[in-house]
Every structure is written in C-alpha cells, then in structure tokens.
Amino acid sequence: MSEIIKQEKKLNRNELQKLQSENYAKRQNYRQEREELRKNLKHVRIDQEFLTNDKENNDNDKIELPKKRFYRQRAHSNPFSDHRLEYPISPNHMDWSKFYPYYYDEINNKMNKQVTIADIGCGFGGLMVDLSPEFPNNLILGMEIRVQVTNYVEDRIIALRQQNLNNDSTNYQNINVIRGNAMKFLPNFFQKSQLEKIFFCFPDPHFKQRKHKARIVTNTLLSEYAYVLKEGGIIYTITDVLDLHEWMVKHLDQHPLFERLDEVFEKNDKCVEIMTYSTEEGKKVERNKGQKYIKCYKRLPNP
Amino acid sequence: MKHPFQLILSTGNLLFTATKNELYVFDLKSGNKIGEWIDTFDSTETIKEKVKKEQERQLKENESKKSKTESLEEDEPTKKKRKSNNSEPKIPTPGEGAPTIYNYIRSLKLSNDEKSLIIITDSDKSGIVFKLDLSNKNNGNILKLIKRQPFPKRPNVIVTSNDDSEIVMGDKFGDVYKIQINDPELKKLDSESDPLLGHVSMLTDLIVTKQDNDQEFIITTDRDEHIRISKFPSSFIIDKFLFGHESFISNIVIPKFNNNQLLISGGGDNFITLWNWVKGEELDRFQLDDLIKPHLNELHLTPSRFQNEENNLKEYCVSKIVALEKINSIAVLIESTNQLFIIKISDNFQKLELDKSIQFDSNIVTITASYEKVFVGLDNDSNLLTSIDIETREIDQSNDIINKVQENYSVEVNSRDEFYPLYTTYQLRKRSEH
C-alpha cells in the first residue's frame, strides 16, 4: 500500500519537475523573443512611416501586448545597493529622443517637449497608460527599479504604440519607462523645477522601523523632490497601508516646501481618479475590497 | 618600530596627529608634545545596551505573536515551557576569520577660529570637540574635552558652522546632523531623529561656507558622484548640483583666494575638477592619467574578481586635496603613491596647471598644509614625517623640529602587520554586479 503511494508521489514529483522545467523553458523563450523585439524597437520611432517600412516583415501583424506572467520578479529591490544602473552624468547628458522619438525635432536637433510628469516606482505601468490620453501635451516618464518589470513596461509601450498608430485620441508616444533608482539619481534626470507632477503609487511600505529610511517619502528625499518640482507642482501619494500613509502625511506636513491639498481638490482632480482605479496595485486593492489612502501636496515657493 | 601617522593637521604653530585611538599635539616651535588624548572608550557597554534593547523588542514581538496564537488555540495546553528570558544579554564576539575591527580616529578638523579641534571616533561613533587651551602648554596638555556627542550612525566627516557655534556632521548613511557646541546637554539622536539633510548614499565630504552677501551654504558629496549645494541652515532648499564626476567623490576643497568661489573636487575619477560653485560652472578639468600612470604599483591592482586576464588592470583615486593659500595652488595626493602634485590655479582662476611633482622615498599616507608648509606623513620605517616649503616647493632638508616631533611621537608596533589601515579611500569605489 505504502509502496504505491510512494510511487505515486515520486511520479507526481517527476511530473511537477517536468512541468516546472517546461514552464521555465517557455518563459525563457518568451523572454528571449521579446528581448529581441525590444532591442530592435525600443528606440525606434513608431509611426506611419514605420508601418509602411515594416510591412514586409510583419505582414501588418500587430505586436501582441506582453503577458505579465512571464515577467514575474521578486517584489522588492534594495534601493541602497549599487545596482548596475544606467543614468546620465547630468540632465544635460540625457538623450530623451531615444525615449520619445515622436517629439524629437531632427531639423533643430532638439526635443519639442520636456518630461513634466514622473511616476516613481511605476510598476507595470498602468498609471502611465491611462494618463497618456489625458495629458497628450505632456511627456510622462515612469521609473522602476526592477529589471523584468521595466522590460514588461517597455514591451507594453512598444505594442501599444504599434497597435494605436491610427488612433486619434492617443498613440502612446508620450509615455516611456526607465530602469533607475529614483532615490539616488532623480536629479541626474531632471533639471531644477522641471516637473509638474510626481506620483508615488502604492510604494513599498518597508514596515520595519530600521527600514524606514528606505521609504520613498522621507524628509530628506522630499527636499530632492522639491528641487525637481516647479512651484505649484503636485506630489500625489496613494497607498493601502495605513501606517505608511500616516508616515507620508507626517513628513509632507512637516516639510516647509509642501502644502497639503484639500478634499475638494482630490474630488475634482482627474489624476486622483486615474491613480485610484488604474494602477495594477489599485485594482488589486479594489478586488480585495481594501482601503485606499490618498493625499496630494503642492510645491510652495522657496521662502 | 613606529606606526605611521594616519592623520595630520597643522595650523602652522601646532601639529595634530592621529594614530589608532591616540591623538597628539606638537608644538612646531620646539617640537615638544604639548597635548595628548587617548580614546579609552569601551564599546562593550553600548553594545550591551543595544543587545538588550533588541532582546526586549523581540520578546515583545514574540509576546504579541503568542497572545495571538493562544487566543486562537485556547484549549491547547501550552506544554512548552517558556524560556526565562531575563538572562543578561550576551555580547556578541566576532568569530574566527571575521575582519578586524579598527577603532581609530577618523577625522581631524579645526574650527574656523582655530580655537577648537573636532574629531571623530569610531569606537562610539562620536563627534568630539576639544578647546585648545594654549595657556596650558607647559603643563603637558592643551586639549580640553568639552563635548562628546554620539551619533546613531558612524560619522564620516565633521566640521563647524561658519560662526563655530555648531558642529555639522555627515554619516555613512548619508545623513547630516547639526549640534550646538555650547549646549551642555547631549542631544539624544536615534534613527527617528530628523537630519538636516540627507543623501541616499554614503556622505564623503562636507563644507559649510558663505558668500559675500552672507548667504550660507552647505555643500555635501557622496559615493554616487553627487556634489549637492543646499542653503544653510534651511537645507531643505537645494540650490544646485555640480554634475560631471563619473565615480565617487572623496574630497572637496574651497580655497580662500578668489572670495571662496572656487571649489576643487576629486575622487575615483582620473581627473580633478575646478568649479565656480557659486555660478555652478565647471571651469577646468585636470587629467591625472599621464602624470600618475608611471608611479602606480601593485597596491593599485583591481581586486581579482574584477581583474582582467592579463592581471594588469590598475585603479587609483584621489585621497586628499589641500589648498595652498599662499601661492594660489592646491596639493593633490593620489592614494598609495609616493608622488605629491602641486597644481596651480592659473589664468585668473580659470585653469588647473601642474606646477611641480614632488617624489618621496616611500608612499605618502596623508598630507596637511599650513600657510608656509606642507606636512607629509610617510609610510616609512624610519622617517614618518617631512615638510615642504611652499615658497620653494622643495623638501626641507635639515629639519630639527620635524625630527624632534618624531622623537617625541611614540606609537610603537612590532611589525607592519599591526598597522591600522593606512589607505582606505579606494574602498569607496562602487562595484555593482547586477
């Protein structure tokens, strides 16, 4: 009797292993395919011209949206470690034309627009995708520290751009993502007073007290956000963790360069609505019927 | 044999030296030792306290966990006896093969009025302020300890504010705190205290300075190539960044000539940069490769994990820059070399230009400059200290005072193995793997 069970178990384990390795191979293949596509298209201007040139290759096939399950990665990344990151020596060294080729003026050799909205820790990019049609005149940049998640967002944007070439309301040319550590290198990307809006959506809560310095809102980091934000610019925060919410509110309240915005603002601001319902994390909280805590702050002039 | 000086600092009349946990002051008129202080702090007490605190925290956590599970399984008799947890906390002792802990004096700085000395001790992560009581010169000790302020994280750099009323300290966690010197109360600082400003990277150097219009600024540098200029004391207003470095920054200097407007920075890059920090302009870059390449040695080899196949990859970094006010120049030391470069700031304070390269018999550990002299601490068995005349840029040949200082200095070790680390700047280099 026990023999049989043992055998069965063994069989199961073998099967499981087989399944796992199959899944693994599948994921690897998928990632590889996508990587090639990404390499070719990451910095390409996807527009009508692209479509006509690309016809023979793709037979006008639409690039599929990436599948999230192939991009799973550990949920956390240590913001203090020396990751191998690419970041510009200074904002002047940043080549934005690679990220927003549509807004690059080849004749004058400069960008038509600057990035004015930043989504720090953009995750799978849901917020940007929804912001894109709402702010057609703003360039939006997501920053994400996890490699696979960044890859996902890049693939998503490539696919969205290609699929929506003839879409009048939006063609997703005004959003892009960068793998980076915003806590360390935000001023390397943006000039003083460049940004109009910064989003912190469902940031890592870092519950332990000794990890509090790793939180994305601290009184010292707020000074950096104030540096890249222009006067009147807005910081949006949303989280489902009450403890973290109270922490962010406490520090933002204390900071001399920020002023809390009231509920009337929250009710009427379209970003607040998008932020509440569009991010992946926001939808998850919605499904679990969790609470969401929101606060927005305005950048005050320097005293 | 004598242990080389780890740090030296001179005002012209006085020479301060730090080796291990021992601090000495020498009179440069006589060569006599006129002050000494030895850090006898025993860290076991503070460690004990920390362990106890952590123990209490864990107990509390376990208690709350237990009460949760117990309320769920109330019927289950708790068979397991609870350990009596009131035992004395054990001091953790490093196991075999653990790296040695060096408790040394990490920094020597003078206040702006040169009446106080501020140092950092590793043992209790303190900033210490001494008043220099020169009337006590003949009784053997001019150092009068007036404040010992512990910090939550290890301090890396410490200075006084422009009016010398406060100490401003940057730590290895990137935070900067300021403390009133004359406040007799010690400030209770812990991880919840709000710092003056902070980087998300190790703080490597810090200067508090002011412009002609009395507007004060604090300039901070870190391992992530940043030179940040914030207002002082309202440091939440970041004025600007000086971008250009591609590796860590170890040293910044603001010479007094040209109205404090110049700043020279160096570190892991193969150049040093001259800035007008008030305007935020890079004025000049001085390339070091050609000068220093012939003088690199096996100490500069890249660690094996990052080495190439030929095993000939070498790296160097700037470990010290000092201003030579008298001749509008700076002296630059590349770590673990025997060369000292005197670089002139020429062309109406726009250019960096090599004035002279001075070679020594052995590697230089550290340097300091007074108005007339550069003092050089050497990694040498017999000759630990020498001086250069700033006017002639020549090594002083017969120097009775320097010899006397060396005679009066007596930190003895049996062999080189007992040396404390003499070259530490290279450790700041970032080695990211993923």
- Does the distance separating the beta carbons of B243 and A90 come in below 8 Å? yes
Residue B318 makes CB contacts below 8 A (sequence gap 6+) with: B250, B251, B266, B267, B268, B269, B272, B288, B332, B333, B334, B335, B425
**A90 in reach of chain B (CB within 8 A):** yes
Residue of B nearest to A302 (CA): B237
In the set A119, A130, A155, A204, the catalytic residue is A204
Task: Grade residue B412 by pLDDT with cuts at 50, 70 and 90.
Answer: very high
Q: Are A233 and A194 in contact (CB under 8 A)?
A: no
10 Å CB burial of residue B136 (0-12, 13-18, 19+) is middle
Q: Identify all chain A residues contacting B201, using CB atoms and an 8 Å cutoff.
A: 184
A118 is in an annotated binding site: no
Low-confidence winner among A158-172, B313-327, B364-378 (lowest mean pLDDT): A158-172
Higher-confidence residue of B434 and A281: namely A281
ipTM field:
0.88
Task: Characterise A134 by phi-psi region: left (phi > 0), alpha (psi -120 to 50), beta (else).
Answer: alpha
**A79 in reach of chain B (CB within 8 A):** yes
Q: What percent of chain A has pLDDT over 90?
A: 57
**B134 in reach of chain A (CB within 8 A):** no
Q: Identify all chain B residues contacting A218, using CB atoms and an 8 Å cutoff.
A: 198
- Does the distance separating the beta carbons of A83 and B432 come in below 8 Å? yes
Token readout for A207 is 């519950």
d(CA A250, CA A282): 23
d(CA B321, CA B317): 11
Strand, coil or helix: B212: coil
* Segment A15-70, tens digit of pLDDT: 878 778 888 888 888 888 888 888 888 777 777 677 666 555 554 567 888 888 88
Does residue A61 carry a catalytic annotation? no
Q: Identify all chain A residues contacting B433, using CB atoms and an 8 Å cutoff.
A: 84
Which pLDDT does position A17 carry in this prediction?
A: 81
CA distance B230 to chain A (A): 10
DSSP annotation string for A75-106: S---TTS-------SSGGG--GGGT-GGGEET
Mean pLDDT of chain B: 90
CA distance B50 to chain A (A): 13
For residue A275, give Cα distances in angstroms to A16, A282, B13, B258: 40, 8, 65, 52
Q: Which residues in chain A (188-207) have CB-CB distances under 8 A to chain B?
A: 188, 192
Which pLDDT does position B57 carry in this prediction?
A: 81
Q: Are A45 and A176 in contact (CB under 8 A)?
A: no
The predicted model gives B60-85 an average pLDDT of: 62
Cα angle B192, B198, B204 (rounded to 5 degrees) comes to: 120
**B225 in reach of chain A (CB within 8 A):** yes
Which pLDDT does position A53 carry in this prediction?
A: 64
* Segment A227-273, tens digit of pLDDT: 999 999 999 999 999 999 999 999 999 999 999 999 999 999 999 99
- For chain B, the residue count is 434
Q: Identify all chain B residues contacting A300, using CB atoms and an 8 Å cutoff.
A: none
**B200 in reach of chain A (CB within 8 A):** yes
Report the candidate in B106, B148, B109 with the shortest Cα–Cα distance to residue B127: B148
Q: What percent of chain B has pLDDT over 70?
A: 94
d(CA B121, CA A190): 38
pLDDT greater than 80 at residue B278: yes
* Segment A77-123, tens digit of pLDDT: 788 877 778 899 999 999 999 999 999 998 999 999 999 999 999 99
pLDDT greater than 90 at residue B75: no
Report the candidate in B236, B167, B171 with the shortest Cα–Cα distance to residue B197: B236
Q: Identify all chain A residues contacting B174, using CB atoms and an 8 Å cutoff.
A: 220
Report the candidate in B200, B262, B196, B261 with the shortest Cα–Cα distance to residue B225: B200
Which pLDDT does position A54 carry in this prediction?
A: 59
Q: Where are the alpha helices (DSSP H) in chain A?
A: 2-41, 48-58, 126-134, 147-163, 182-189, 219-228, 242-254, 263-268, 270-278, 280-287
Report the candidate in B337, B376, B404 with the shortest Cα–Cα distance to residue B29: B404
pLDDT greater than 50 at residue B81: no
d(CA B127, CA B171): 11
Q: Identify all chain A residues contacting B172, using CB atoms and an 8 Å cutoff.
A: none
**A180 in reach of chain B (CB within 8 A):** no
Strand, coil or helix: B220: strand
Higher-confidence residue of B219 and B61: namely B219
CA distance B198 to chain A (A): 5
pLDDT greater than 90 at residue A210: no
pLDDT greater than 60 at residue B77: no
**B186 in reach of chain A (CB within 8 A):** no
pLDDT greater than 80 at residue B254: yes
pLDDT greater than 70 at residue B44: yes
Q: What is the DSSP letter of B314?
A: B
Q: Identify all chain B residues contacting A84, using CB atoms and an 8 Å cutoff.
A: 432-434
**B371 in reach of chain A (CB within 8 A):** no
**A92 in reach of chain B (CB within 8 A):** yes
d(CA B420, CA B429): 20
Directed axis angle between helix A242-254 and helix A219-228, to 10°? 70
pLDDT greater than 50 at residue B78: no
pLDDT greater than 90 at residue B22: yes
pLDDT greater than 80 at residue A161: yes
A181 is in an annotated binding site: yes
Which pLDDT does position B79 carry in this prediction?
A: 46
Q: What is the DSSP letter of B45?
A: H
Residue of A nearest to B177 (CA): A220
A159 is in an annotated binding site: no
Report the candidate in B223, B341, B215 with the shortest Cα–Cα distance to residue B271: B341
**A82 in reach of chain B (CB within 8 A):** yes
First to last CA, chain B: 45
d(CA B433, CA B306): 10
Residue of B nearest to A91 (CA): B243
Higher-confidence residue of B184 and B214: namely B214
Q: Identify all chain B residues contacting A255, using CB atoms and an 8 Å cutoff.
A: 236
Report the candidate in B388, B393, B370 with the shortest Cα–Cα distance to residue B378: B388
DSSP annotation string for B265-285: EEESSSEEEEEETTTTEEEEE
Q: Smallest Cβ distance to B191: which of A210, A227, A303? A: A210
Q: Count of CB atoms within 10 A of residue B122's CB?
A: 18
A121 is in an annotated binding site: yes
Q: What percent of chain A has pLDDT over 70?
A: 92
CA distance A1 to chain B (A): 34
Q: Smallest Cβ distance to A226: which of B175, B191, B236? A: B236
Which pLDDT does position A5 carry in this prediction?
A: 64
For residue A176, give Cα distances in angstroms to A42, A134, A216: 10, 15, 21
pLDDT greater than 70 at residue B86: no
Residue of A nearest to B175 (CA): A220
Task: Grade residue A288 by pLDDT with cuts at 50, 70 and 90.
Answer: confident
Strand, coil or helix: B99: coil
Mean pLDDT of chain A: 88
Which pLDDT does position B50 carry in this prediction?
A: 80
Phi, psi (degrees; rounded to nearest 5) at B177: -120, 155
d(CA A116, CA A229): 9
The predicted model gives B96-123 an average pLDDT of: 91
Token readout for A12 is 């199961």
Q: Which amino acid is at B74?
A: E
Residue of A nearest to B195 (CA): A220
- Does the distance separating the beta carbons of B244 and A82 come in below 8 Å? no
**B123 in reach of chain A (CB within 8 A):** no
pLDDT greater than 70 at residue B379: yes
Structural domains of chain A, with CATH: 2-68+85-299 (3.40.50.150)
Q: Smallest Cβ distance to B195: which of A91, A93, A220? A: A220
Which pLDDT does position A59 carry in this prediction?
A: 47
Which pLDDT does position B96 carry in this prediction?
A: 81
Token readout for B59 is 């107990």
CA distance B235 to chain A (A): 8
Higher-confidence residue of A33 and A300: namely A300
Q: Are A204 and A181 in contact (CB under 8 A)?
A: no
Which pLDDT does position B85 carry in this prediction?
A: 53
